[in-house]
Amino acid sequence: MPRTTNNNGELTFEYVAVTGETLATHEYAAYPLKFLRPTSSIAPGFHTSVICILGYGGGLVSRDHTKIVVDAGDSTSVVLCTQATTKVFKCIPDPARADDRTKQDLHVSVRANATFLLLPDPVTCYANAKYCQRQTFNVDPTATLVVLDWLTSGRLARGEHWAFDTYESCNEIYITHANGPSTPLVVDRLRLRQDETIPLRTRMGGMHVMGTLVLCGPRVMALVAQLLTDGARKQLAPHQAPVPSGRLAQSSLSDVRSAVSPLGPNGAILRFGAHSTDAAYAYIKDILAPLRDVVGYTCFQENR
């Protein structure tokens, strides 16, 4: 993939059959981004490549706009993660600019029989921050995709609890076809903003973390089936019949609330909220634990 000056980051992965490895054959990063290969060990027998996205200064400042393009080639196995929460600093108004939001764009192509996991730590927006992200995935019908998108309420130690101005996130997943138009699988948009009448903090129901997890593709079918089954069981009362297929299955734990529903023929979408960051990490690590048998990588092993 040729480097273009419009992108802050570019990654191309290819599977090398001779060595049985997934390698990053093209890697480019420019301010405010850099890429890091963590020391996390991949279990024997897997060819997964793990890349961490880092930001200079530990976060994104007002009006930063990052653009990352990733191409996961045929039969590759890739995990894209971060080393810590993505911090979004407060917005500094500039009368000369109409748009003062901090933005991140991610465009990912997942080719035939490839496996791609996007597993970042949560976004943390500081007080008065304005943040907008858009993530687009073009996925081959034979490929597997896992996308985690989540955020915290802010810096609780500083008294910041849902104190940012705006947070916008859009995730779009399209199934690509060689001889036809792409089919949209997910178009999921979230927008949180302050309101003079009812503050955002009041509307969030005591939650400190909220997020979405999307799983689809042949290599996660067993995990998807287990999530849907467990979700249906947690919804049941002794006198109720099983939850019909297609209905929202919900679970309620002491510090985490979640809901999972089917997505296409071999996918699921899970939405969750937690009263603490630690509870959210523990929950997500438990949910994603079976992925070690898929990519040979233990999610969030570095920091939690």
pLDDT at 100: 85
pLDDT tens by residue, 198-247: 989 999 989 999 999 999 999 999 999 999 988 766 655 444 444 433 33
User: Which tens digit of pLDDT belongs to each residue from 56-90?
Assistant: 777 888 888 999 999 999 999 999 999 889 999 99
Question: Rounded to whole angstroms, how far apart are CA atoms 47 and 235?
Answer: 38
Which residue did the predictor score with more confidence, 252 or 96? 96
pLDDT above 70: percentage of residues in the chain: 90
Which residues, including other chains, have CB under 8 Å from residue 110's CB and lie 6 or more apart?
72, 116, 137, 138, 139, 140, 143, 144, 145
d(CA 147, CA 171) in angstroms, rounded, equals 9
Q: What is the largest CA-CA distance in the chain?
A: 63
* Amino acid in the structure at residue 24: A
Give residue limits of the domains in the chain. 11-295
Q: Percentage of the chain with pLDDT > 90?
A: 71
Compute the chain's Rg from CA coordinates: 19
pLDDT digits (tens, 9 = 90+) for 18-42: 999 999 999 999 988 999 988 777 9
pLDDT at 253 over 50: yes
Between residues 237 and 194, which one has the greater pLDDT?
A: 194
Q: What is the pLDDT of residue 252?
A: 46
8 A C-beta contact, residue 286 and residue 253? no
Q: Is the pLDDT of residue 2 over 60?
A: no
